[in-house]
Chains A and B, each alone.
Chain A
Amino acid sequence: QAVVTQEPSLTVSPGGTVTLTCGSSTGAVTSGHYPYWFQQKPGQAPRTLIYDTSNKHSWTPARFSGSLLGGKAALILSGAQPEDEAEYYCLLSYSGAWVFGGGTKLTVL
Chain B
Amino acid sequence: EVQLVESGGGLVRPGGSLRLSCAASGFTFSNAWMSWVRQAPGKGLEWVGRIKSKTAGGTTDYAAPVKGRFTVSRDDSKNTLYLQMNSLKTEDTAVYYCTTGGNYWGQGTLVTVSS
Chain A residues in the interface with B (C-beta under 8 A): 1, 36, 38, 40, 45-48, 51, 57, 89, 91, 96-103
Contact = CB atoms under 8 A, between A and B. Distances in A.
7 contacts: A46-B97, A47-B105, A96-B61, A97-B47, A97-B63, A101-B44, A103-B44
Top 6 closest A-B pairs, CB basis? A98-B47, A100-B45, A45-B105, A103-B44, A36-B102, A48-B103
Contact of A91 (B61, B97, B102): B102
Contacts of A51: 102-103
Interface of B: 35, 37, 44-47, 50, 61, 63-64, 97, 102-108
Given A48-B105, A57-B103, A1 B64 contact: yes
A10 to B, nearest CB: 16
A98 B64 contact: no
Contacts, number: 48
Contact of A100 (B47, B64, B106, B108): B47
SS class, residues of chain A in contact with chain B: strand
Contacts of A57: 103
Given A91-B102, A97-B47, A97-B63, 7 more contacts: A36-B102, A45-B107, A48-B104, A51-B103, A91-B47, A98-B37, A100-B46
B44 A102 contact: yes
A42 to B, nearest CB: 11
Residue among A91, A96, A98 facing the most chain B CB atoms (10 A cut-off)? A98
A59 to B, nearest CB: 11
B103 A46 contact: no
Contacts of B103: 48, 51, 57
Contacts of B35: 98
B62 to A, nearest CB: 9
Given A45-B106, A48-B104, A100 B44 contact: yes
A89 B45 CA distance: 8
Contacts of B97: 45-46
